[in-house]
Amino acid sequence: MAWHVVDVSTDPPMATFHIAGVDVLVVDLDGAWFAVEDRCSHTDCSFVSDGEVDGATVICNCHGSEFDVRTGEVLMPPAIDPIMTFPVRTRRGRIEVEL
């Protein structure tokens, strides 16, 4: 695994980055950064194009599944499997995601 810098300086509080072959959704929750795979575990829909973030909840608008961006845990079915989460850190003023 390696740390990858994501340029969130020009992106909204929810942005997707392609890192090491994975689409990763990076979310800012009041200055705390979280990263999850940008794919709903139920339908494989992209959150950034077919979803929204409401607080710590990422919502897939394809079928209404909801997930906690901090843990990947399913909050609302029809999804039953959690989504992948990735460690995030701030280093030298930059946001880094570990994959």
Kindly state the percentage of the chain with pLDDT values over 90.
Answer: 78
Rounded to whole angstroms, the Cα distance separating 22 from 35 reads 11
In this model, does residue 88 exceed pLDDT 90? yes
In this model, does residue 12 exceed pLDDT 90? no
In this model, does residue 91 exceed pLDDT 70? yes
pLDDT at site 90: 92
Rounded to whole angstroms, the Cα distance separating 33 from 72 reads 14
User: Which whole number is the average pLDDT over 73-87?
Assistant: 98
pLDDT at site 82: 98
pLDDT at site 10: 61
Indicate the pTM of the whole model: 0.91
- State the residue range of the domain holding 13: 3-98
Burial class (CB in 10 A: 0-12, 13-18, 19+), 97: buried
CATH of the domain at 28: 2.102.10.10
Any residues with CB less than 8 A from the CB of 64 and at least 6 apart, and which?
A: 76, 78
> How many domains are contained in the chain?
1
* Eight-class DSSP state of 49: H
